[in-house]
Amino acid sequence: MVSDPEAPSGPREERFAEIIDMLESALRALDELDPCAATGARLQGLIDDLKNGLRG
């Protein structure tokens, strides 16, 4: 079986992935209110940092 190299592979990674999912849901909700909000940009930066942290 070929595994996805970016998939979470431990309890810590799974928890991080859950947090990223929650933040992405929050970002989508925020986009409905104001897609140009500075908070949205900060949140996106945080999500990207978390994803980079998971990868690397």
Partner 1 sequence: MTETMSDDPAVKPQAIQLTRRDIDDAKRLLALLAGAEGKIVIGPEDAEERSTPPAERASQQAALNLLSRRRRRHKIFGRAMFGEPAWEMLLLLYSVGPRETVGRLAELAYASKSTAIRWIDYLESQGLVCREAHPTDKRAIFVELSDKGKQLIRLYLFDTARSET
List residues near partner 1 by CB under 8 A.
35-38, 40-41, 44-45, 48-49, 52
User: In angstroms, rounded to a whole number, what is the distance separating the alpha carbons of residues 32 and 11?
Assistant: 32
Q: Please tell me the total number of residues recorded for the chain in this structure.
A: 56
Taking the least distance from each CB to partner 1, the nearer of 18 and 45 is 45
- Which is closer to partner 1, CB of 17 or CB of 51? 51
Give CA–CA dist 24/22, Å, rounded: 5
Residue 1 C-beta: closest distance to partner 1, Å: 30
Q: Which is nearer to partner 1, 1 or 24 (CB)?
A: 24
Residue 19 tokens read as: 């947090």
